[in-house]
Amino acid sequence: MVPDLPAIIRPTVTADYQQERQGNNIIGAARIYTPNITTIKNLPNFDQDNNTNFNEIEGWDRLITNYRTIFYVPTTGTTGWSGTGSLASDGESLTLTATGDGNLLYETTAKNTLEADRLRFKIRGSGSVELKAIRSYHGGTNSAYRVNWDNDNFVLLDNNWLTVDVPFVTGTSATSIYQTGTRYNVPITSGASFDYENDLRIFRVEYNADNTDTLQIKDIEYYKSVSWHVHSLKDMTDGYIIFNCVRTRGRDDARRRAYD
């Protein structure tokens, strides 16, 4: 997924449960407004000088948005946080001043993340900080209870916020992180005791850094997503593009609770 595409979504039908009950896969519709293609291609993650995979938004491309946040990891203070270095918060983001390679983690009492299917946060570094891995522990605090995103190590651009948005529950074994259009592969694995239905215990980021490098993080959320698929092009002007999109049926959380 390539993050940070600005858009306005105007649903005409967010979810038609009669259609869902009849077994139809398409259960919603919306018009989605994006900037024109020239503006999009000037955005860092969509710049074709860096991202040669992106040309334009086409039929049945998938646009993912936050349906609702299931759990928001607080960064307004340092309570619950620990790391390899000193910690401080400005009331919005958490800053770690590193003493070398290590990790930054938030530990909590059991928090329900059952309905979440994606994890998103913003991170930035100074110096030579490399993002190494992301961990999420559920039902326990050792490696058997975690899901792992072990990305290709890459240096975070100085003082530039990077949006990381990865699937939390997925049938795939890999995803992507994009930084200014460059794709970094992210294999997904899990421990033998990991179960996404268990409560969240630890969120952790692992990194490589030199002494006194800084790492900042904010806007960490486990969220339930909605996928809109481009069905047709409604209008295109010098200022914006309007896409007619449909919503396909995803996970049924109520049914899963009933039968688990």
Report d(CA 42, CA 44) in Å as an integer: 6
Quick one: pLDDT band at residue 51, thresholds 50, 70, 90?
confident
Contact residues for 237 (Cβ-Cβ < 8 A; gap 6+)? 36
State how far Cα 110 lies from the chain centre.
21
Give yes or no for residue 258 having a pLDDT over 50.
no
Quick one: pLDDT band at residue 21, thresholds 50, 70, 90?
low
- Of the candidates 124, 73, 132, 75, which has an alpha carbon nearest to the alpha carbon of residue 100? 132
Q: What percent of the chain has pLDDT over 90?
A: 62
pLDDT in the model for residue 66: 92
Quick one: pLDDT band at residue 255, thresholds 50, 70, 90?
very low
Mean pLDDT of the 61-65 span:
90
Report d(CA 118, CA 170) in Å as an integer: 9
Give yes or no for residue 201 having a pLDDT over 80.
yes
Is there a contact between 185 and 174 (Cβ–Cβ < 8 Å)? yes
Q: What is the pLDDT of residues 98-154, one digit of tens each?
A: 999 999 999 999 999 999 999 999 999 999 999 999 999 999 999 999 999 998 889
Give yes or no for residue 50 having a pLDDT over 80.
no
Residue with tokens 């003493």: 99
Q: What is the pLDDT of residues 208-249, one digit of tens each?
A: 999 999 999 999 999 999 889 999 998 888 889 999 999 876
